[in-house]
With several copies, the nearest count.
Chain A
Amino acid sequence: MADYTTSELMVSRAAKELKSGDVVFVGIGVPSLAVNLAYRMHAKDLCMIYESGAVGCVPTRLPISIGDPCLVTGSLAVVPMLDVFNLYLQGGKIDVGFLGGAQVDRFGNINSTVIGDYRKPKVRLPGSGGACEIAALAKRVVITISNSKRTLPEKVDFVTSPGYLRGGREREALGLQGGPDLVITDMGVYHFDPQTRELVLESLHPGITLETIRDNTGWPLKTAPTLKETPEPSAEEIRIVRDELDPQGIFLRSRAG
């Protein structure tokens, strides 16, 4: 079996969510690597959009920020941010958005604003950036986050980006379509129950036990009838990630899960 890091597994799993023709709103780190991996492996016609305004990017190096100049050079279009949000995102052109955060709760709501009280924060986080609008307006959202009682609480301290709120039909009732579809952590992969809209564990990463994951989740975890094992990244995937996407290991060594 190939040797790989958990982050590489997450990247490989996230890449499987993308298909040719998808228009993908990309963030930095695991999402960026996943999209670039999918692009090289099986999704040739995938179109990458960064909130900085670069569309159809072909980065010749690993972008360090979502506004890296390598996203501009050779791209298909570079547009004002007004167009990114009005025409592309609100206009319904984005198939998949990737999001992370400090906390994700039982119903897929994301917090990237504060830990503790908003007025007297224990930790002040960066805030929404474009996350709230991606969560509200992309057709589909895939979330990546580490798996712990701190990062997966039953309820987030602050809803920066709406998932299914308190579950059931509440998101639709507020006039929002789409919503989170998959959560990929360093321990497993979750989908959402179509009725309750609660996170449901669908696969465990190799070597992770159900007990471990239960000990690291902030609520009594529901699991799929048949728990699968998350597929390992192929040797080719690992080669691409290490040799082509992140040769200096900027995201995948320093931040290995």
Chain B
Amino acid sequence: MTMKDAVGRFVRDGDLVVMEGFTHLIPFAAGHEIIRQKRRDLTLARLTPDLIYDQLIAAGCVKKMIFSWAGNPGVGPLHAFRRAVEKGIPQPLEIEEYTHFGMVLRFMAGASNLPFLPTRNYPGTDLTTVNPNFRKVRSPYSDEELWCVPALFPDVTIVHAQRADEDGNTQVWGLYGVQKEAAFASKRVIVTVEEIVPAKVIRSDPNRTIIPGMIVSAVVPEPFGAHPSFVQGAYDRDNDFYVEWDTVSKDEAGLKKYLDEWVHGVPDRAAYTKKMQDRREALEADRQMCEPVNYGF
């Protein structure tokens, strides 16, 4: 399926949308398509909003954000996010704030169809005083009280991966993040991949499959679909882009100029990739192949 069709069919105004990937495999191509299709009133959830949600906020797609760390990793603040929170530009942004551990547990509870999960975390932090979703449960085995976070059930989760077969059986290596948990918690799942491979490639190494086709709504072949984030074994993180974003996004005009040129100004990721061919080549990964293992019996 094309990205245009996948977003058109499975991402709706007002949805709770999750686009995960912890620095690795962030589905930027899907984010750009959501901006092009002018989705509105989205609630976005993600551990690290990163540049992808900063762009969606600036584009006016977002009503609310659920997150745990809103910065430009290794660089500084997320300017569009701060403008929205501090000044209501382009529109007020409601926030619901956790920690990384809390977000991971929310996805796991959702994926497990449980109302909540407990943790030993959270005594003493003020986060529990500003977010009423942190609640306590008493252990039935002792007098201990534990803080809990509620399950999160996204309407749609979008993940990018190295490869999948045409049925959506999806394999990832390198950093796993929370993509598996987010996908299982979600009503709909869109998988975008660097490469669609024959099922026999997936079946040659079943332990690498993190998302089974049975929960996948759409599979989209989208090479370079995670730029400026990285794909282990395919291309490196574009750290220069992350540094430049600090300048690009500092004022609304600069950010609008970026969206006009790199999002609205291109029809799809293929055109985007062509537009930065040299950069893509510079980011190409070198080869460090793993030792294959034997699945015979």
Contact = CB atoms under 8 A, between A and B. Distances in A.
Contacts of A109: 124
Interface residues of B, number: 73
A117 to B, nearest CB: 10
B123 A175 contact: yes
Contacts of A66: 23, 73
Interface stretch (B2-10, B56-64, B207-215, B252-260): B207-215
B48 A69 contact: no
B120 interface: yes
A54 interface: yes
A74 interface: yes
Contact of A93 (B47, B207, B214): B214
Interface residues of A, number: 66
B239 interface: yes
Given A67-B175, A69-B236, A76 B101 contact: no
A52 B98 CA distance: 17
Interface in A75-109: 75-83, 85-87, 89-93, 109
B73 A56 contact: no
Interface stretch (A10-18, A127-135, A191-199): A127-135
A128 B180 contact: no
A76 B122 contact: no
Interface in B225-281: 230, 232, 236-237, 239, 242
B68 interface: yes
Given A121-B85, A129-B69, A69 B120 contact: no
B97 interface: yes
A174 B68 contact: no
B113 A133 contact: no
B295 A136 contact: no
Interface string B92-123: 00000111110011001001111000011111
Contacts of B77: 124-126
Contacts of B120: 90, 136-137, 175
Interface of A: 23, 28, 47, 51-56, 58, 64-70, 72-83, 85-87, 89-93, 109, 113, 118-119, 121, 123-133, 136-137, 158-162, 165, 170-171, 174-176
Shortest 6 CB-CB contacts between residues of A and residues of B = A67-B23, A162-B124, A129-B69, A126-B71, A69-B297, A77-B209
